[in-house]
Structure 1
Amino acid sequence: MTEAATTGERILDVRQIPHQQRHEIIPRLFDNLQPGQGMQIVVDHDPRPLKYFFEAVHGDDCQWTYLEEGPELWRVQLRRAA
Structure 2
Amino acid sequence: MSRFKSQVDARIYEPKDKHAVIFDTFNNLNNGEEMELLNDHDPKPLYYQFSAEYAGKFEWEYLEEGPEVWRVAIKKK
Per the normalisation by structure 2, the TM-score is 0.92
In structure 2, relative to structure 1, the CA distance for the partners of 1:28 and 1:6 (3 Å cut) is closer
Structure 1 vs Structure 2: percent identity of aligned residues?
38
- Matching residue of 2:15: 19
Q: CA RMSD in A?
A: 1.1
Stretches of structure 1 that go unaligned for 5 or more consecutive residues are none
- Deviating beyond 2 angstroms after TM superposition, the runs of 4 or more aligned structure 1 residues are none
- Counterparts of 2:52 and 2:7, CA distance in 1: 23
Alignment of 1:1-82 (within 5 A): 5-81=1-77
Tell me which amino acid in the other structure corresponds to 1:20. K
Q: For this pair of structures, how many residues does the alignment match?
A: 77
Stretches of structure 2 lacking an aligned partner (at least 5 in a row): none
1:22-69 superposed Cα distances (whole Å, 9 cap, x missing partner)? 111101111111110010010000000000000000011011111000
**Counterpart Cα distance in 1 of 2:53 and 2:4:** 25
